[in-house]
Amino acid sequence: MSLKGVIVPLITPMSEDGSLDKVSLFRLLDHVVTGGVSGVFLFGSCGEGPVLSPKEKQQMLRAVCQRIKGSVPVLAGIIEPSTEQAYQLGARFLDIGADYLVTTPPFYYYYSQDEIYTHFLVLADKLKAPLVLYNITRFTKNTIAPETLRKITLAAKNVIAIKDSDGDMERFQEYLFIRDHGHANLYVLQGAEKLAALSLMCGADGVVLGLANVVPDVCKRLYEAAKARDWETALLLQEQLTEVGRLYNVSSWLPSLKAALNILELCKPYCRLPFLPLNSDQKREIQSILQKTGVLVYQSNMPMKTRTTNPVPINGLSCKQ
C-alpha cells in the first residue's frame, strides 16, 4: 500500500450524547472515498483522538475497517502521553485491522530528542508494523528534529513516513532532503492545508488535509495538478481550498468543521465536551462560506433535503480537468 495522494484525517461523527454515530460514519466514509482520497487517518486532531477512550477507538476502527474493506489504507493514531500506552493501543489496533499506526512524540511533558527517539524506537521494535511519525508541536510541545528523523529511519526500517503539521517549510524541506539522500522509502506528508500546493511542488509525497472531509475531490485535484506539474491549476485550487478553510475561523475550528459537514448532511454537529456546537449566527456564517465557495449549491427557498453539494468549480472559476 502507498501513502501517496490525499489522506483524510477523518472526523469522528458523534450523536448528541457523545456516542459514535455509525450511520453518519458510513455516510462520511462513502463521501471521502468516492471523492478520491487515498487513505483514511483515524484519531488525529480532526478525529478527536486525545478525548476518545480506547474502547471507543476500537469500536470506530472496527466500523471503518468493515466499511472500507481494504479499498484504501486505514491509518490509526496512537497519540498517547507515554510509550507504554501507545504500545498497548497500537497492538489492539493491529489486531482489529489497521494498516498503519501513527504516533507523535509523547505529550504533556517536554522531552529531549534522545527521549523522543527512544519512544519511536521502542514502538517500532515492539509493534513490528508500519509506523508513521506525526510532528505537531503546538499540541504535543515536542518537535521531531530532522536529525531524529534521520536517526530513527536508519535504526527502524518500519518507520516509513512522517506527517508534518507545523507549517514550517524550512524544516519540512529538511525532511524532504533526508528522504532524497539515502531514505528513498520514506514518505513525507504535509498536514498544513495552506502549504499543500507549495509542499507538493517541493516534492511532498502526499497531503493530510482536514478539509478533505468536506471537499475530497478538490483536494484530490490539487494533488493531481501538482504532480502533473500544472502549477497554475494547483495554485488556483490551493486558493479555492484556502477560501473554504475560512470556515475554521468562525468558532473553535473543530466544531466549525463539523458544522460544515452537518450543513452538507454528512454528520451531526456534535463534538466531545467541552467543545460546543455553533450558535445560529455562526451556522449561517458557515453556510454563507459554503455557498460563496460553491460547496453548497441550492436556492434559498429550497428545503434542506433538496440541497446539493457541488464542490467544483469554486467561486465560479473554471479549472483545468
Beta partners for residue 163, in sequence order: 134, 189
State residue 157 phi and psi, 5-degree precision.
Answer: -70, -15
Helix (H) or strand (E) holding 73: none
Task: Return d(Cα 113, Cα 186) in angstroms, integer.
Answer: 20
The verdict on whether 258 is a catalytic residue reads: no
Task: Return d(Cα 80, Cα 127) in angstroms, integer.
Answer: 15
Task: Return d(Cα 130, Cα 121) in angstroms, integer.
Answer: 12
Q: The cell 489496533 sits on which residue?
A: 93
3-state SS assignment for residue 299: coil
Catalytic residue, from 57, 87, 117, 163: name it: 163
- How far CA 196 is from CA of 210, 222, 314, in Å, comes to 11, 8, 17
The verdict on whether 305 is a catalytic residue reads: no
270 residue type, one letter: Y
Q: Are strands 74-77 and 100-103 parallel, antiparallel or unpaired?
A: parallel
Catalytic residue, from 100, 111, 117, 134: name it: 134
Beta partners for residue 40, in sequence order: 8, 74
Residues 6+ apart with CB under 8 A from 293: 240, 243, 244, 314, 315
Please tell me whether the peptide bond between 269 and the residue prior to it is cis, using omega within 30 degrees of 0: no
Sign of the alpha-carbon dihedral angle for 255, 261, 264, 265: negative
Per-residue burial over 15-24, b if 16 or more Cβ lie within 10 Å, else e, is eeeeebbbeb
- The residues annotated with a catalytic role in the active site are 134, 163
